[in-house]
């Protein structure tokens, strides 16, 4: 049963009518597409050390350029990174990079393209990718896949910047089989407050999602996707007020306007529905 406090919601509407703030920004990986390297066309290189590579990693990571044993090329461009764990029990494969200019306390996600490569040892079903920010996991992907080198887009869970600099690590565990992942076009995206489903907009679908979880005004831990947008590990009225103060409810990314208009009316309609479902 969806439970809401109508008085809190109506108070929130008044906040929206008075306040509107637009914020945008993004941090970037260097060499995010792995195009800056010294790998010859049609070849690959383990542990590239050229200064323009930027990334650092374990012994069994590398860069590939164009058609070859690692596939037909990157998602965009000819080059991509690979994380290989073939015949490496006890040793996984990883790459890392430190990125700066974060706003401490703000929420971000990592968008990336990944492919799984079939190996000579029977494919790489069950390949596991872990993405960490300052040693805290933001995604563990254990999708079963036959590989075939098909590039697919992925988005990490939301994470809050703990300081100006963050260290990002992409890794796969050790294996006796050929479980190689290919990575390309990595990016970091600042989330709008209220964007629970991480699709780049704050709208009624986000409100429906967080209320469906059922943690509103309960003394239970909540994350970004549960409605905790002010960082106190709870979902309550304060989170809704913070989200509405941005002025981005029902606003497209292309036309972020601080004045509330149709979005407020949509929100009011959503509030009425919620109150009727108490």
pTM above 0.85, yes or no: no
Q: 104 exposed, middle or buried (CB, 10 Å; 0-12, 13-18, 19+)?
A: exposed
Strand partners, 81: 63, 183
Mark 37-75 as b/e (b = at least 16 C-beta within 10 Å). bebeeeebbeebeeeebbbebbebbbbbbbebebbebbb
Position 2 scores a pLDDT of: 44
The 10 Å Cβ neighbour count of residue 88 is 18
**pLDDT > 60? residue 24:** no
Q: In terms of pLDDT, which residue wins out, 115 or 87? A: 115
The whole-angstrom separation of Cα 113 and Cα 102 is: 22
Position 23 scores a pLDDT of: 36
Categorise residue 138: left if φ over 0, alpha if ψ from -120 to 50, beta otherwise. alpha
Among the residue ranges 11-20, 27-36, 189-198, the one predicted with the least confidence is: 11-20
Q: Any idea which fold 43-190 has? A: Jelly Rolls (2.60.120)
The whole-angstrom separation of Cα 149 and Cα 208 is: 36
Positions of CATH 2.60.120.200 in the chain:
43-190
Q: What mean pLDDT is predicted for residues 110-131?
A: 72
DSSP 8-state secondary structure symbol assigned to residue 155: E
Spacing of C-alpha 37 from chain mean position: 26
Instruction: List pLDDT tens digits, range 161-172.
Output: 999 999 999 998
């Amino acid at each position: 049963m969806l439970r809401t406090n109508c008085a809190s919601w109506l108070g929130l509407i008044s906040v929206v009518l008075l306040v509107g703030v637009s914020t945008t920004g993004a941090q970037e990986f260097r060499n995010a597409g792995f195009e800056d390297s010294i790998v010859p066309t049609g070849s690959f290189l383990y542990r590239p050390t050229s200064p323009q590579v930027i990334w650092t990693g374990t012994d069994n990571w590398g860069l590939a350029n164009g058609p070859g044993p690692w596939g037909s090329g990157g998602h965009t461009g000819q080059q991509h990174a690979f994380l290989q764990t073939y015949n490496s029990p006890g040793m996984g494969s990883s790459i890392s990079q430190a990125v700066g200019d974060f706003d401490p306390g703000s929420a971000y996600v990592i968008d990336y393209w990944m492919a799984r490569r079939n190996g000579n040892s029977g494919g790489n079903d069950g390949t596991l990718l872990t993405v960490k920010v300052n040693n805290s996991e933001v995604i563990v992907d254990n999708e079963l896949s036959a590989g075939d080198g098909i590039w697919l887009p992925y988005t990490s869970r939301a994470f809050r910047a703990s300081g100006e600099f963050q260290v990002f690590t992409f890794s796969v565990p050790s294996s006796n089989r050929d479980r190689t992942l290919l990575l390309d076009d990595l990016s970091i995206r600042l989330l709008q407050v209220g964007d629970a489903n991480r699709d780049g907009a704050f709208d009624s679908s986000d409100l429906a999602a967080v209320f469906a979880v059922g943690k509103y005004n309960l003394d239970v831990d909540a994350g970004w996707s549960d409605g905790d947008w002010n960082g106190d590990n709870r979902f309550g009225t304060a989170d809704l007020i913070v989200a509405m103060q941005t002025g981005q409810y029902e606003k497209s990314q292309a036309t972020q306007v601080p004045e509330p208009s149709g979005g407020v009316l949509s929100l009011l309609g959503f509030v009425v529905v919620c109150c009727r479902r108490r």
